A and B are shown apart, each in its own frame.
Chain A
Amino acid sequence: MRFDLILRVGAKLVLPFILLFALYVQFHGDYGPGGGFQAGVIAAGMVILYALIFGIRAAKQIAPPAIVEMMVPLGVLLYAGTGMAGIFLGDNFLEYTAFAHDFLHAHEWGIFTVELGVLITVCSTMIVMFYAFVERGRS
């Protein structure tokens, strides 16, 4: 698709806004519809769109498979680690109360980190799945 100028320029214009929208959905999850899962899928959608237009090789340069594969367990680790942090601070598993002085504030922090973990894992899982589909039958 090297000569599809409109497609390439159009995509380049849209790509940053897709990522921005993903982050909006991520951080706005407390107040409106959204959260880590939806944001992760949208962010992965950006990489997938990039791969569709510029080719899988270019996509692998902005999202190297080795790093993306590491991100899958990393997000879960962040989630589970947040849970363990509650235990180390003297509370129960996944209890956020000790994260800040104020109860609500502490829970905002707790949910923020947990949702960040969800974002990382969902996003990287989508990309890994896409890579796996694209490479089917190539090697």
Chain B
Amino acid sequence: MSALNWGAAEPHLPILLVMTPIFGALFSTFLRRGVLAWLLALIVTLSLPLMSITLLLKVLETGQPIIYKIGNWDAPFGIVYKVDQLSAYVLCVISFIGAVILPYARRSIAAEIEEPAQSWYITMYLLCLGGLLGIVITGDAFNAFVFLEISSLSTYVLIALGRHRRALLASYQYLIMGTIGATFYIIGVGLLYLVTGTLNFDDLSQRLSTAVADPGMRNATLTALGFIVVGLALKLALFPMHVWLPNAYAYAPSVATAFLAGTATKAAIYLLIRVVFSVFGTALSVEALPIPDLLLVLSLAAMFLASFSAVFENNAKRMLAYSSVAQVGYIMLGVALANQASMTGALAHIANHAIMKTALFLALGAVFYRIGSVLYSDMSGIGRKMPLTMAAFAIAGIGLMGTPGTSGFISKWYLAIGAIDAGLYSVVFMIVASSLISVVYIGRITEVVWFREPSPAAATAKEAPLSMLIPLWLLAGLTVYLGFDTRLTADVSAKAADILIGGIR
């Protein structure tokens, strides 16, 4: 794989990974035709996974982080981009999801967005992608905030372009919550700057460890931690700060929902892991913080309560949105347990959940493309008319339950081992129990889709076009493939977890 030759551009890959989508976004504003903007975006997004894979391979090969100095200013003074195992892995996930959706996007956007807005939609998509990649790659706390805002602002537009009028309200709701989240994050960063006088993550962790000796500084640091964790928990939709998410996902255009479900919460989770483990963890030792216990309770609550909400939902997109909140709970559970196995599970689930949930939302997008609705009443019997689409949906759904032979099983397996290592056997039971609830909600939609008489809308539906089926089946296939070959997910996650956990001790 290292045959990818970037020539003279090789040392600049970290910045190019962020700037390519941003340039793509800028140029697509000049292209007033949706098709042209889409073509440009296709080229841009397809180049990104190649870059991030190159970075990942390089980091895995050398074992050393790649540092890129913007403007050639040295680390604490200038902004540096730092690619280590963890960030390279998350970069791969985000850029891959961003690329795989694009071939699908053409028809979906053409059907759901009016023409003058199509190229703006593509612009926002690329801007959001660039922002998310920036959050993950940057080694600077304030720069991460800027990218958080870039991705959030473009997300608000993406959601607001939904066809239903409630999309505007959902977008506004997310705008308020997202702004509060970003503000809390920046308040926390401001307090850290007060304590240490630096914004660079590595420099922060070094200076914090000496600064916390003073009790006043220690209190300021703990306050900063509180603000940052709450702010990012809002962005990543940790229960009970998830209320913006179901509406946002339900009323956004199909492509935006699939993209956001796969990537947006993942970038926020990455940032939380980065701050809690790499900055606070080394300085204060994670055991001394109240954060893990709190996260443990909240993530368990998310796993159960959000799953219950999903069971009683009648809109398929909202159902999957609630399921996303539950799945974020699994990831945060692994983060909260904070041992080698649980962290591996959490990181592996970032990729696995991104792939499964994007597949599920793409399938629903294809249904919406054909019948214009994702309500259970309209979707009944659609499986007979769109067998390929709904079969892929079923495979990804089975993955979501955590059935052996799918990627969902791998991450839950590591999570369970992590819980056993932590001595919390009840948590193992709860992981299994909440997975059983997901059997109920996936089972319910499967029953509606396959075993009922076709509704009037479904009776006239046709199979989704090939440009939609190929990305969908690629992701559904990956769900199964990653259930057997764990080199890409669990092994890389284990290495990243080693470094994160190793940094604490």
Contacts and interface: CB of A to CB of B under 8 A. Distances in A.
Contacts of B22: 76, 80
B30 interface: yes
B134 to A, nearest CB: 13
A49 interface: no
Interface residues of B, number: 15
Given A80-B19, A83-B19, A84-B19, A95 B71 contact: yes
A93 B19 contact: yes
A92 B30 contact: no
Contacts of A94: 70-71
B68 interface: yes
Interface in B60-78: 68-72
Interface in B8-66: 12, 15, 19, 22-23, 25-27, 29-30
Contacts of B68: 92-93
Contacts, number: 42
A93 B30 contact: no
A96 B29 CA distance: 27
Nearest to B79: A94
Nearest to A91: B72
Interface string A115-139: 0000000000000000000000000
A77 interface: yes
B15 A93 contact: yes
B70 A73 contact: no
Contact of B70 (A72, A77, A93): A93
B70 A92 contact: yes
A97 interface: yes
Contacts of B12: 87, 92-93
Contacts of B25: 73
A96 B72 CA distance: 9
B72 A92 contact: yes
A73 B26 contact: yes
A70 interface: yes
Interface in A93-113: 93-97
B26 to A, nearest CB: 5
A80 B71 contact: no
A73 B72 contact: no
Interface residues of A, number: 17
Contact of A92 (B23, B26, B27, B71): B71
A70 B71 contact: no
A16 to B, nearest CB: 31
Nearest to A72: B29
Interface string A12-31: 00000000000000000000
A130 B69 CA distance: 38
Contacts of B30: 70, 73
Given A80-B19, A83-B19, A93 B71 contact: yes
Contacts of B72: 91-92, 95, 97
Nearest to A66: B32
A91 B69 CA distance: 10
B26 A77 contact: yes
B118 to A, nearest CB: 15
B19 A92 contact: no
Quick one: which of B26, B27, B68 has the most chain A CB within 10 A?
Answer: B26
Nearest to B11: A92
Contacts of A72: 29
B240 to A, nearest CB: 35
Interface string A70-86: 10110011001001101
Interface string A25-62: 00000000000000000000000000000000000000
A97 B69 CA distance: 14
A18 to B, nearest CB: 28
Contacts of A80: 19, 22-23, 26
Nearest to A90: B8
Contacts of B70: 92-94
Contacts of B69: 92
A76 B23 CA distance: 9
Interface string B393-406: 00000000000000
A9 B69 CA distance: 53
Contacts of B15: 83, 87, 92-93
A120 to B, nearest CB: 12
A80 B20 CA distance: 10
A131 B120 CA distance: 18
Nearest to B25: A73
Nearest to B15: A93
A84 B26 CA distance: 14
A114 to B, nearest CB: 11
A117 to B, nearest CB: 11
Contacts of B29: 72-73
Quick one: which of A76, A83, A93 has the most chain B CB within 10 A?
Answer: A93
Nearest to B18: A93
B426 to A, nearest CB: 50
B441 to A, nearest CB: 42
Interface string B408-422: 000000000000000
A76 B127 CA distance: 12
Interface of A: 70, 72-73, 76-77, 80, 83-84, 86-87, 91-97
26 contacts: A73-B27, A76-B22, A76-B26, A77-B23, A77-B26, A77-B27, A80-B22, A83-B15, A83-B19, A84-B19, A86-B71, A87-B12, A91-B72, A92-B12, A92-B70, A92-B71, A92-B72, A93-B15, A93-B68, A93-B70, A93-B71, A94-B70, A94-B71, A95-B71, A96-B71, A97-B72
Given A73-B25, A80-B23, A95-B71, 8 more contacts: A80-B22, A83-B15, A91-B72, A92-B12, A92-B69, A92-B72, A93-B71, A97-B72
